[in-house]
Chains A and B, each alone.
Chain A
């Protein structure tokens, strides 16, 4: 009989410590998934799941515990301690004087709290591939990351491929190159995790946390083209069930879009609220223009507004001079401007009367929509400001239709002997004569181990019909003498 032990490590203060084995009580359960369901097994960008719960002795609760990083390994017959079954954060607990049940979740909660203003990114894939040869640091002059990468970095993540350099980030992330790019992409202090879900949705991909705590973005074609990590036949699982949606397959898809159009330099901020700029106390002004900005008009000095943007005076009414009587800093994001004015006048307060900032806004044009497919069962895709071109809308709709136009049952293979691999997002082959599955390639959309690692249940969806990345012509320095697909 297999022996189950657990390794639980916590990191309350910047370094990992292992919880004493005897302090870990039973009732360890882990779950990770892409978020699909029978109604939409491969829906783009759905809410993914990464959860764990375990019971420990009260004395083993780390301090501080809230959002304390935790990683759990279900060690079966001495398997590797780094085959984590869950990496995430302690979110809550309940119990009595002796025992506590910890509820743990993935990093989505932390990412959700990130609300930053991004620069305007122009005509770039919404997620760009992470690699050792590609910088993902937005402060790097060579930065060419997508808006999704930017959000992940701002949330404290670092590319998994750079783990040698960044050894203790909040989390690691790893991204495929997204299939779709928007002409203009930006974020303005929204919930970063929701934003990432939307980005995955409009780029034909999935974003999820794997069992090792890595936030992964995968395009649907990358998911479909992955190599199989395991084969499951009737002897491997105790039971197999199937669930098919009551909804009919989709025969058409409607995708709305809204073009974005850059406009000439014009007034984008007009602030005429009179204020006092006290000696020694900088005045910080923050603005959110109505539209994202392609550029802001600066003066003779780079990264500074022109002098005639300001109307700042001495109490006597004499105009104060930029550079002599006051100075300022300018920080411009896509839809957020911060101006910090410092009074440099000797012995006097200054009066702020007006500030006009000129910029090039990117306006929203008239909305449109496209329809692909035919028939009566049409699905309207979610509207997003990131779908800005008819071509993008068409391609997204065709990708969606390719996936949703055939019936995709969700199979649950239960009572499988636990093994750290496979993980959600992995591809396996499944055989079941009765169900008509014969080495059928399937993607794992959910994995659970409810009994503390003795067994695991896999929810899988067939993807035999979907081509993978290798089936397409790609941009590469290698010669491609072959017949391959051109994607939508």
Chain B
């Protein structure tokens, strides 16, 4: 089933074209759908997981250049600029450098402490090319710096083929000019909304958390185990954040899962032994249109004192995405649907058509008011790995497929090698030697190869070609090398 937006009817004068409830309700429903998607549920921007905003070098503090963020985005004709937003607090003389498309020469260097917004002019490209971006700490540092990436995006959006047609006003004349203007306005909004791809999370499936309280050694600067670091955009005042995580505690009498927003604890749950699911609705209070950090942390409160091997807790981060708060978004008052074979007055007909127009006008205004989301093509964060050996590990591939926590669109663009589309219940195989579940080897009931293993390629797939991959289904893009994935409504 494709997205609910249905091809609009075409209105024609002088052919006795009868107004049908079917055609009119198509316009009503399309307007309602546009209204709904103009309040998007936005996944948090992924920064890291195991690595906190402090790059912990371990005991070997002379490690040099290190990648701590990388991602990719699709270039479209008209784009000129890559923007990377973050924070740098150096320990010593190290710098942050940004590399494009695997180049050995940095396109930008950040050397001053503090928050930064680094813009980079894009190199020449062909429409549809995938741009890869890598942010590295360059230079040895004997201690811990803070290197955060809070946002990375491409601008400007490509110019649409047509300009906004505006919305008509109906006053008992229902000609093709006015009616087709109404449908054109809805089609324009669909194209406008579709300019912003829907970017996945880096999935976290049965990732390792701690088995012991922290700090476990004096050198550790924190009393928790980091699970996730990112940033959340508050697009509307009625947004809140929803964090959902499954915790598999097989070791400790007592643990906690904490969610921090903008440095303050926003939610916490005590975790008993066993498998538990935690869903946190979190109020957002920072300025609309801005981002703040979000981090998820595990704390072992009471460890297991028994002798012998300890068992790591495992966490599956299901969702870290905004949603409407308890009072809900300010959706437009859409007209009630038309009923077929029922007589109505021209006044009623005017009211309903004008309500469609008002809805579309409100959607346009809403999009225009929030360029922080609607005028930027955000980069996808690539799989967590500080280097190629880490990237290629089987357990890394299993733990961190790209996760679309809700299928919303119809078209998926993917670049990579040996890439599969995965959905449905997960299958955990048993370790052949021990007979124990092997959480490092998780597969899915449905796995469809979309890019072969012989080369890197870019493919477009249509999601309703896959049985049971229904709208609102969570699905994953998993593979040896997933460079980029993005979903579009159409």
- Give chain A's interface residues, CB within 8 Å of chain B: 123-125, 128-129, 131, 133-134, 176-177, 179, 181, 183, 221-222, 259, 261, 263-264, 363, 365, 389, 391-392, 394-395, 398, 402, 467, 469, 472-488
Complex partner residue of A487 from B11, B21, B174, CB under 8 angstroms: B21
- Give chain B's interface residues, CB within 8 Å of chain A: 2, 6-7, 9-22, 24-26, 172-176, 179, 338-346, 349, 460, 462, 464-465
Q: What is the bound-complex CA distance between A131 and B7, given in angstroms?
A: 26
The 4 closest A-B pairs by CB, nearest first: A488-B340, A129-B15, A177-B15, A473-B19
Q: A131-B14, A181-B9 are in contact. Are A476 and B20 (CB under 8 A)?
A: no
B19/A472 in contact, CB under 8 A: yes
CB-CB < 8 A to A398: which residues of B?
Answer: 340-341
B21/A475 in contact, CB under 8 A: no
Q: A222-B16, A395-B20, A475-B179 are in contact. Are A480 and B341 (CB under 8 A)?
A: no
Select from chain A the residue with minimum beta-carbon distance to B23: A391
Complex partner residue of B464 from A365, A391, A476, A477, CB under 8 angstroms: A365
B16/A124 in contact, CB under 8 A: no
A261/B19 in contact, CB under 8 A: no
CB-CB < 8 A to B172: which residues of A?
Answer: 479-481
Select from chain A the residue with minimum beta-carbon distance to B462: A263
Min Cβ gap A207→B in Å is 17
Given contacts A181-B10, A261-B465, list 13 more A-B pairs with CB under 8 A: A123-B7, A128-B15, A129-B14, A177-B17, A472-B19, A475-B19, A476-B174, A483-B345, A483-B346, A484-B343, A486-B340, A486-B341, A488-B22
CB-CB < 8 A to B174: which residues of A?
Answer: 473-476, 480
A264/B462 in contact, CB under 8 A: yes
Complex partner residue of B173 from A263, A402, A477, CB under 8 angstroms: A477
Can you list 29 A-B pairs, Cβ within 8 angstroms, ordered by A?
A124-B10, A125-B17, A131-B15, A179-B20, A259-B2, A261-B462, A263-B465, A264-B462, A391-B26, A394-B22, A398-B341, A469-B18, A472-B18, A474-B19, A475-B19, A475-B174, A476-B174, A477-B173, A480-B173, A480-B174, A483-B345, A485-B341, A485-B344, A486-B19, A486-B21, A486-B341, A487-B20, A488-B21, A488-B340
CB-CB < 8 A to A264: which residues of B?
Answer: 460, 462
A177/B346 in contact, CB under 8 A: no
A179/B16 in contact, CB under 8 A: no
CB-CB < 8 A to B340: which residues of A?
Answer: 395, 398, 486-488
A486/B7 in contact, CB under 8 A: no
Q: What is the bound-complex CA distance between A392 and B26, given in angstroms?
A: 11
CB-CB < 8 A to A179: which residues of B?
Answer: 18, 20
Q: A264-B462, A477-B173, A479-B173 are in contact. Are A487 and B341 (CB under 8 A)?
A: yes
Q: What is the bound-complex CA distance between A452 and B124, given in angstroms?
A: 83
CB-CB < 8 A to A176: which residues of B?
Answer: 16
Complex partner residue of A474 from B9, B18, B22, CB under 8 angstroms: B18
Q: What is the bound-complex CA distance between A395 and B341, given in angstroms?
A: 11
CB-CB < 8 A to B6: which residues of A?
Answer: 389, 391
Q: A477-B13, A481-B346 are in contact. Are A395 and B175 (CB under 8 A)?
A: no
Q: What is the bound-complex CA distance between A249 and B367, given in angstroms?
A: 52
Q: A365-B464, A475-B176, A477-B175 are in contact. Are A395 and B22 (CB under 8 A)?
A: yes
Q: What is the bound-complex CA distance between A259 and B17, given in angstroms?
A: 24
Q: What is the bound-complex CA distance between A181 and B18, given in angstroms?
A: 12
Q: A123-B10, A479-B173 are in contact. Are A474 and B342 (CB under 8 A)?
A: no
Complex partner residue of A469 from B12, B16, B20, B22, CB under 8 angstroms: B16
CB-CB < 8 A to A481: which residues of B?
Answer: 172, 346
Min Cβ gap B22→A in Å is 5
Complex partner residue of B349 from A183, A395, A469, A473, CB under 8 angstroms: A473
Min Cβ gap B244→A in Å is 31
Q: What is the bound-complex CA distance between A221 and B174, given in angstroms?
A: 20
Select from chain B the residue with minimum beta-carbon distance to A372: B340
Select from chain A the residue with minimum beta-carbon distance to B342: A486
Select from chain B the residue with minimum beta-carbon distance to A128: B15
Q: What is the bound-complex CA distance between A204 and B43, given in angstroms?
A: 47
Q: A261-B462, A398-B340, A487-B340 are in contact. Are A476 and B13 (CB under 8 A)?
A: yes
A476/B175 in contact, CB under 8 A: yes
Q: What is the bound-complex CA distance between A175 and B21, given in angstroms?
A: 23
Q: A179-B18, A475-B17 are in contact. Are A485 and B173 (CB under 8 A)?
A: no
A402/B341 in contact, CB under 8 A: yes
CB-CB < 8 A to B20: which residues of A?
Answer: 179, 395, 486-488
CB-CB < 8 A to B345: which residues of A?
Answer: 482-483
CB-CB < 8 A to A124: which residues of B?
Answer: 10
Q: A398-B341, A473-B349, A488-B22 are in contact. Are A177 and B16 (CB under 8 A)?
A: yes
Q: What is the bound-complex CA distance between A395 and B339, given in angstroms?
A: 11
Q: What is the bound-complex CA distance between A363 and B176, given in angstroms?
A: 31
Q: A261-B2, A475-B176, A486-B340 are in contact. Are A133 and B14 (CB under 8 A)?
A: yes
Min Cβ gap A388→B in Å is 10
Select from chain A the residue with minimum beta-carbon distance to B175: A477
A486/B17 in contact, CB under 8 A: no
Select from chain B the residue with minimum beta-carbon distance to A477: B175
Q: What is the bound-complex CA distance between A224 and B402, given in angstroms?
A: 59
CB-CB < 8 A to B26: which residues of A?
Answer: 391
Select from chain B the residue with minimum beta-carbon distance to A263: B462
Q: What is the bound-complex CA distance between A244 and B117, given in angstroms?
A: 82
CB-CB < 8 A to A221: which residues of B?
Answer: 18
Complex partner residue of A483 from B14, B17, B343, CB under 8 angstroms: B343
Select from chain B the residue with minimum beta-carbon distance to A179: B18
Q: What is the bound-complex CA distance between A181 and B10, given in angstroms?
A: 10
Complex partner residue of B341 from A123, A389, A392, A488, CB under 8 angstroms: A488
Min Cβ gap A290→B in Å is 15
CB-CB < 8 A to B7: which residues of A?
Answer: 123, 183
Q: What is the bound-complex CA distance between A221 and B16, given in angstroms?
A: 11
CB-CB < 8 A to A488: which residues of B?
Answer: 20-22, 340-341
Q: What is the bound-complex CA distance between A11 and B22, given in angstroms?
A: 47
Chain A CB within 10 Å, residue with most, of B11, B340, B344 = B340
Chain B CB within 10 Å, residue with most, of A124, A181, A402, A487 = A487
